[in-house]
Structure 1
Amino acid sequence: MNPDFSFIVLTFNEEIHLSRLLDSIKGLNAKIFILDSGSTDNTLKIAKDYGAEVKSNPFINHPKQWDFALNNFEVKTPWTIGLDADQIVTSELFDRLKNFKAHDFEGINGIYFNRKNFFQGSWIRYGGYYPIYLLKMFRTGIGYSDLNENMDHRFIVPGKTTIWKNGHILEENLKENDIDFWFKKHEKYSDLIAHEEIERMQNIRVQALRPNLFGNPDEKKAWLKRLWWKLPLGLRPYLYYGYRMIFKLGIFDNKTARKFHYLQGLWFRKLVDKKINALKQRSPKH
Structure 2
Amino acid sequence: MEQPTIPASVPSLTVVVLTRDEEIHIARALASLDGLASRIVVVDSGSYDKTREIAAATGANVFERPWVNYADQFQWALDHTGINTEWTMRLDADEWLGKDLVASLRQALANSDGGVSAISLDRQHHFMGRWIRHGGRYPLRLLRLWRTGMGRIEQRWMDEHIVVDRGRIRHVPGTFVDQNENDLSFFTTKHDAYATREALDALIAKHALFDLPEDGALESTGQARQTRTIKNGWYNRLPTGLGPLLYFLYRYILQLGFLDGRPGLIYHVLQGFWYRFLVDAKRVELEQTIDGAETAAEKVDRLSKATGHDLAAFAASQTQLPR
TM-score, structure 2 length as denominator? Answer: 0.81
Aligned match of 1:216 in 199, 212, 222?
222
Partner of 1:104: 112
Residue 203 of structure 1 corresponds to 208
Q: For residue 301 of structure 2, what is the aligned residue in structure 1?
A: none
For 2:44, the aligned partner's letter is: D
Contact 2:119 2:143 in 1 (8 A): yes
Report the equivalent of 1:233: 240
Which position in structure 2 is the counterpart of 1:24? 32
TM-score (norm 1): 0.91
Aligned position for 2:249: 242
1:88 and 2:88 aligned: no
Aligned-pair CA distance for 1:102: 5.2
Kept in 1: contact 2:258–2:264 (CA 8 A): no
- Residues 206-239 of structure 1: per-residue CA shift (max 9 Å, x gap): 5844799x95333223323323223333211101
Partner of 1:264: 271
Aligned length: 283
Secondary structure at the counterpart of residue 99 of structure 1? helix
Correspondence 1:142-157 to 2 at 5 A: 142-147=150-155, 149-157=156-164
Q: Matches of 1:283 and 1:32 in 2, distance apart?
A: 42
After superposition, what is the alpha-carbon deviation per residue over 1:56-107, rounded to whole angstroms, capped at 9, x for unaligned? 1111211111111111111111110110011111122110122244562311
1:40-189 matches, cutoff 5 A:
40-101=48-109, 104-147=112-155, 149-175=156-182, 178-189=183-194
Conservation of the 8 A alpha-carbon contact between 1:209 and 1:222: no
Q: 1:82 to 1:152 in 2, by over 3 A?
A: same
Closer/same/farther in 2, CA of residues 211 and 69 from structure 1, 3 Å limit? closer
Pick the aligned partner of 1:191 from 178, 181, 196.
196
Tell me by how many angstroms 1:33 deviates. Answer: 0.8
In structure 2, the residue corresponding to 1:69 is in which secondary structure? helix
Letter in 2 for 1:261: H
Instruction: Give the conservation status (yes or no) of the 8 Å contact 2:15–2:37.
Output: no
In the TM superposition, residue 146 of structure 1 has moved relative to its aligned partner by 0.4
How many Å separate the matches in 2 of 1:215 and 1:88?
22
Q: What RMSD over aligned residues (CA atoms) do the two structures have, in Å? A: 2.3
What secondary structure does 1:203 align onto? coil
Percentage of pairs with the same residue = 34
1:161-207 superposed Cα distances (whole Å, 9 cap, x missing partner): 334252131111111xx211112112211111112211111023658
The code of the aligned residue for 1:168 comes to: T
Give me the whole-angstrom Cα distance separating, in 1, the residues matched to 2:111 and 2:281.
Answer: 51
* AA partner of residue 188 (structure 1): A
The 3-state SS of whatever aligns with 1:166 is: coil
Aligned partner of residue 243 in structure 1, secondary structure: helix
Give yes or no for contact 1:112–1:161 (8 Å, CA) kept in 2.
no
Which residue is equivalent to 2:305? none
The secondary structure found in structure 1 opposite 2:35 is: helix
Residues 8 and 221 of structure 1: CA distance in aligned 2, closer, same or farther (over 3 Å): same
Larger Rg: 2
SS at 1:170 equivalent: strand
1:23 alignment partner AA: A
Task: Note if contact 2:98-2:176 (Cα within 8 Å) is conserved in structure 1.
Answer: yes
Gaps of 5+ in 1: none
Which residue identity is paired with 2:181? L
Matched residues in 1 for 2:37 and 2:244: separation?
45
**SS of the residue aligned with 2:32?**
helix
Q: How far is 1:36 from its partner? A: 0.7
**CA contact under 8 A between 1:211 and 1:222: conserved in structure 2?**
no
Q: Which amino acid letter does the alignment assign opposite residue 181 of structure 1?
A: F
Q: Does structure 2 retain, via aligned residues, the 8 Å contact 1:38–1:58?
A: yes
